Chains A and B, each alone.
Chain A
Amino acid sequence: MYLFRLAMASLANRRFTALLTAFAIALSVCLLLAVERVRTEAKASFASTISGTDLIVGARSGSVNLLLYSVFRIGNATNNIRWDSFEHFASNPKVKWAIPMSLGDSHRGYRVMGTTEAYFEHYQYGRQQHLELADGRAFATDPFEVVLGAEVAEALHYKLGDQLVLAHGVAAISLVKHDDKPFTVVGILKRTGTPVDRTLHISLGGMEAIHIDWHNGVPARGNGRISADQARNMDLTPQAITAFMLGLNSKISTFALQREINEFRGEPMLAILPGVALQELWSLMSTAEKALFVVSLFVVLTGLIGMLTAILTSLNERRREMAILRSVGARPWHIASLLVLEAFALALTGVIAGLALLYICIAAAQGYVQANYGLYLPLAWPSEYEWTLLGGILAAALLMGSVPAWRAYRQSLADGLSIRL
C-alpha cells in the first residue's frame, strides 16, 4: 500500500504530464467504447424494426436496397409497382394479410408513407408488438388525414387537429410543396424506437390526391388545378405503389410464394425474406465494423504507447529519486513495482475518465442521434464484452509498465548511490 502511495506522490509531482497521458488514454477508451456501443445498438435497433412479416415485395432491385427503403426509410425506390400486381398477390390464398406502401414525399425531412388501415393492424416490430395509437385514431375515409409517428409529433410540436402541408420529394428543405391540399392530424402513434416514429402516415387515397393534378412532373397551374374538395369526389384508387409487405398463413409456403412473385409475368418484381436481407446487410457492414474496431484498437494502443514514452523519458531525470529510495532501504524490486503501479494508475485513471467521457457524450448526443439517425443509445452499464475490453486495456498497460520497470530495476542495481548525471 505504501508503494502505491509513493507512486501516487511521484505522479502528483509530475501532474501535468500525468494528466495529459491519462487524458490521451481516456479519449482512446471513449472512442473504442463508443464504436462498440453504436455497433451493437445499431444492430439491435435494426433487428427490432421488423417482425412477423414474411415477405417484402417491391420493384426489382437488390434485396438490401428493398429492405432499406421499405422498412428503414433509407435511400429511395428504383421504381413503383402496379396496383393490380398488389391486388393479385394480396388475394393469393397463401396470403394472410398485405400492407401496401407508397413512398416518395416528405414533411420537413420526415418521410411520408401512404398505406391502408392494414398497416396499423398487421405491422409488427420488436417482439411481435403491434403499433398503438397514443392519441386520436387511424385515418378514415377522408383522404386528407394524417397519423404521425411519435418523433414527428414531438419534434415539430404537432397535436390533434393541426394542419400540415406535405412536400414533394424527400429533401429536408423542400421547394415544391403540396400546399393546396393540407392534411389534418387525426392520430399520433406511441413511440416504438423504430423508423415508424419518424414517419407520417397517410392513406393511399391521400397520396393519390396530392398528385392528382400533376402533369409531366410539375404541379398544375391555373385552370388545371384540382382543389382538395374536388379531389375528395374523384376516384382515388392508386395506379401504383412502391412496395408491399405480406404475412403468410404458413411459413413453409414462404419460398413457394417468393418464387411465384419473382416469376410473375405481369411485371418484374422482387420478393425478399426480411430476416435473410437483414443478415446480408450485416455481413456487408461487418467489414466496415471490423475496420472501425481495428482503428479504435490502434488508437488505444497509441494512447498506451504515449504513456510508455512519458514514463521512459522520465526515468533518467528520476535516477536521483530512485537512488534516494535505494539509500533509505528500498530494494530493486520495490523500484520496479513502483513503476508498474504508476503505469497501472495512469491507465486506470484513463479508463475511468474514458467511461465518464462516454456517458457524458451519450447523455449529450442521445436526443440528437435519435432524431437524426433513429438510433437509441441507452445509458446502460458496460456489457460483458465491454468489461473484457476494459480489462484488456488495463492488462496491456501493466505489460507496458513492465518495460520501464525492468530498466529501472537494472539501473538501480547498477547505479546504487553513485550516479553521475
Chain B
Amino acid sequence: MPRAVLALLLLVALPVWAAAPKDLTWSEMIPPDAAPEVPNMTPLHDMSKMSDALSAESAPAAKQDMPNAPVVQSLDGQNIRLPGYIVPLEVNEEGRTTDFLLVPYFGACIHVPPPPSNQIVHVKSELGVKLDELYQPYWVEGPLQVKASSSELADAGYQMAADKIYVYELPE
C-alpha cells in the first residue's frame, strides 16, 4: 500500500516537477566538445609574412564568426528559463514586441563580431512584451526548440515559443 501511494505521488509529482523550467546559461548552449577559438598569439619573426599579417588586419573586420555554430541537441523540447536582452523584430499596434531575438549582451558592440548563431534564440510570444528600454535584461521562459544546421538556407539554431517574459533583476 505505501508503495502504491509512493507511485501515485511520483505520478502526480513528475509533471509538476517537469513544469518548473530549468535555468539555462548561455555557455550551456555551446556544445562542450566544440573546439574553443584560440587566437593566434605567436609573435611575428619572419618579415616575409608581414604582408599576410597586414592584409589580415585590413580585411573586413569581424564578420559573424560562425553563422552556423553547433547547437546542443539535447536541449530540444526542454522547458527552460534563460536571461538575455531583447532585440525586437516585430512590434504590434499596442506597442508590444511579439517576435524578437534574445542575445546574451546588449547593443551593437562593433568591436567584436556579432554573437554566433548558437548564442541567439529566436523567440515568439503570443502576448508580447512591452519594451521600455533596449538595455533592460529579461527572463524568458518556455520550451526550447533546437534545429540542427545543415545548410546556409536552413533555419539553424535555437527557437522558443515564450510562455512568460519578465524583467531580470540582479540577484541579491
Interface residues of chain A, those whose CB is within 8 Å of chain B, are: 43-44, 47-48, 51-52, 54, 93-94, 126-127, 249-256, 258-260, 263, 265, 273, 275-276, 278-280, 283
- In the bound complex, CA of A316 to CA of B113 (Å): 76
Report 14 cross-chain contacts, Cβ distance below 8 Å, ordered by A residue: A43-B95, A51-B90, A52-B90, A249-B155, A250-B154, A253-B117, A254-B89, A254-B101, A256-B67, A273-B89, A275-B90, A275-B97, A276-B88, A279-B134
Among residues of A, the one whose C-beta sits closest to the C-beta of B152 is A93
Among residues of A, the one whose C-beta sits closest to the C-beta of B123 is A251
Chain A contact residues: over half helix, strand or loop, or mixed? helix
Interface residues of chain B, those whose CB is within 8 Å of chain A, are: 60-64, 67, 87-95, 97, 99-101, 113-115, 117, 120, 122, 131, 133-134, 152-158
With a cutoff of 8 Å between Cβ atoms, the chain A residues found around residue B63 in the complex are 256, 259-260, 263
Among residues of B, the one whose C-beta sits closest to the C-beta of A264 is B60
Partner of B100, one of A51, A258, A275: A275
- Inter-chain contact A275/B87, CB cutoff 8 Å: yes
If A43-B95, A126-B93, A250-B156 touch, whether A279 touches B61 (CB-CB below 8 Å) is no
- Inter-chain contact A263/B60, CB cutoff 8 Å: yes
With a cutoff of 8 Å between Cβ atoms, the chain A residues found around residue B89 in the complex are 54, 251, 254, 273, 275
- Inter-chain contact B91/A278, CB cutoff 8 Å: yes
- In the bound complex, CA of A94 to CA of B63 (Å): 14
- In the bound complex, CA of A255 to CA of B117 (Å): 9
- Inter-chain contact A127/B92, CB cutoff 8 Å: yes
With a cutoff of 8 Å between Cβ atoms, the chain B residues found around residue A276 in the complex are 87-88, 134
Among residues of B, the one whose C-beta sits closest to the C-beta of A41 is B93
With a cutoff of 8 Å between Cβ atoms, the chain B residues found around residue A253 in the complex are 67, 117
If A47-B95, A252-B122 touch, whether A278 touches B88 (CB-CB below 8 Å) is yes
- In the bound complex, CA of A112 to CA of B134 (Å): 34
Please give the distance in Å from A396's CB to the nearest CB on chain B.
Answer: 27
